[in-house]
Chains A and B, each alone.
Chain A
Amino acid sequence: MKHLKPLNSKAKRIEESVSLTEEDVVALQQAPHVPMGCSLSFSPGWEVDSGGGTAGLCQPVERDIYDCYVTCFWPVQVPDHVNYSPDWASNCAVATKDWRNLDLVFP
């Protein structure tokens, strides 16, 4: 953090948790900020949050592709799960919790 300096144990723990979130999505946090995803879908992880950021969303924006697969008809962004990658989401039971287990798919 640049403008705030943590001075007690609790503040240090908050800083740690903030920096973890930051590192997770660092590439997409740089200005200018480009909101990603389908603007008509309001499923979790889809939009930017009310402050214009993506760091606090329950599903990181990098994994939005999962939402295309589960809830959206949009055909081009999802892996070809019928023919080539049938198990790409088998380790992800609950998207908001298990998104880290999603396999990356390279066409």
Chain B
Amino acid sequence: MTEMTAALTPTLYRRGEMHEFSAAGQDFMYLVSTGAIFSLDKSAHAVLRQLAERSMTLPELIEALTEQGYDPAEAQGLIRELRMVKAILSEAAAPAPAPAAPPADFPLQALVLNITNQCNLACTYCYEFGADKIATPQGKPKYMTLETAKASVDLLLRQSPGRKGVHITFFGGETLMNFKLLREVVTYALEQAEAEGRKITFSLTTNATLLTDEIIAFLSDKEIGVTVSMDGPPDLQDKRRVYKSGKGSYDVVEPRLRKLIAGHKTRAITARVTLTEGVTDVIRIYRHLKEDLGFHEVGFAPVTNSGEQDYAIDDAGMDGVLAQFHQLADEWLAYALRGEMHGFSNVSETIGELIQGVNKSHPCGAGLGLLGVSPSGDLSPCHRFTDADSHTLGNLEDGIDAQKRDEFLNRGHVSAKYECQSCWARPLCAGGCHHEAFVRYGDTGHANLHYCDWIREWTDTCLKIYGAVSALNPQFLQRFAERKALS
């Protein structure tokens, strides 16, 4: 009889986890259980409004809608539709189930080869050498050997069954301090991939101080994507991106960059700006890098730090940064409505994820499809953990340490992060960067609580852009997806 009693208890309907937003005069919902985005007509919006006030039984809900002028049968159909996509639920309130972790044999997609841990600059905020460093490079090789690099390529091809294309990112230290190796390993990797009938692509991150005509020609010829770490016009670049002598690097970088951008047309050239105390002039930096120097895209990130460094941005500084982000976001939208691409990566990246409707089990591919390789051949979750003994996940000789990788991934799974369970932005954020969390909280599995508000606000901004473009220029999103190879 207990079963029957349970069956006869009136079921309460409530809203599923979602973030509602409006743009261009339309209403939308972003569903947390899936990462899906739907536009709502007036009726659907009315149901959600009704249930925002309180949970209701089905008859109550239908009565309320009938009072608003809906035909009862129509109201039934409407409620059913919302239930099918889990916008309204009849079960007890609980967070949507977390996305399952990818299987243990998840194939690799990319490696980051740290081809040297040496650098000719001494940027004061560097996570690899600065105050918050976690790397322990003492007694280890400073430059990767060709043998190690080739073994990395072999590992990537071996551990990526089923993937037609794989990717290698070259990283440092300053990557171009080991350009000789880079050139040789690119040739080797292309041969190996071709022999298997597969595709391999490359990118590198550099401070641009060592670019030469020969290097630029090679990068263009081999279609190697280039990201330049750069902080803006001379006064801002030279504040922290300095040589060991303290001398700024702008004057060295600028002519080389112009040659790179003029001479390398096969891949986008992007700038990656680190925002620090006093380097928060986002608009001026963007204009200089995009319009004066000609970068295709410019992305910004506040410096990773333990919260105690003098180069960290304080709350007032972050407010200013966000205000300027919003200004660039408005520009991005205006461009999109005209059918043009804007170069502000922070919007483009999020829009790309919204097009797919990602629902992440982990914040990024670190330890999953992506691994870092240190000059010594140690494997790590990504380049930010290179040479850190506390975070190795095996080495090239013995392969991936499955147990350590499991431990890292279990720790970083979104469902293991308590604070994330009530946050609507978790399908995209999943708690944020493992490395940032470790530096800040001493635990890669800790949610990055210091930027939760910022992430939610930014995701809301990007959702509104997405909604507006969907309503006013939907073809743009399709072209954007094709261009970014998302479709």
Contact = CB atoms under 8 A, between A and B. Distances in A.
Contacts of B334: none
Interface stretch (B254-262, B269-277, B350-358, B379-387): B350-358
Interface string B13-27: 100000000000000
Contact of A50 (B39, B82, B90, B355): B90
Interface stretch (B70-78, B296-304, B438-446, B449-457): B70-78
Report which residue of B79, B359, B467 has the largest number of chain A beta carbons within 10 angstroms of its beta carbon: B79
B320 to A, nearest CB: 32
A55 B85 CA distance: 13
A59 to B, nearest CB: 17
A77 to B, nearest CB: 23
B28 A7 contact: yes
Interface residues of B, number: 41
Contacts, number: 93
A71 to B, nearest CB: 15
Given A7-B28, A10-B357, A18-B84, A51 B40 contact: no
Interface stretch (B30-38, B107-115, B216-224, B285-293): B30-38
B198 interface: no
Name the prevailing secondary structure of the A interface residues: loop
A31 B75 CA distance: 12
Contacts of A21: 84
Interface in A6-24: 6-11, 13-15, 18, 21
Given A4-B44, A8-B355, A10-B357, A51 B38 contact: no
B192 interface: no
B482 interface: no
Contacts of B345: none
A10 B486 CA distance: 12
B303 to A, nearest CB: 32
B292 to A, nearest CB: 35
Given A7-B38, A7-B470, A10-B357, A2 B77 contact: yes
B55 interface: no
B90 A10 contact: no
**6 closest cross-chain pairs (CB), A and B:** A10-B357, A11-B36, A3-B44, A10-B36, A8-B357, A4-B38
Interface of B: 3, 7, 11, 13, 28, 31, 34-41, 43-44, 58, 73, 76-85, 87, 90, 354-359, 466-467, 470, 486-487
Given A6-B37, A18-B85, 18 more contacts: A2-B41, A2-B77, A3-B82, A4-B40, A4-B44, A5-B38, A8-B37, A8-B466, A9-B355, A10-B36, A10-B359, A11-B31, A11-B36, A11-B85, A11-B357, A18-B84, A42-B3, A56-B84
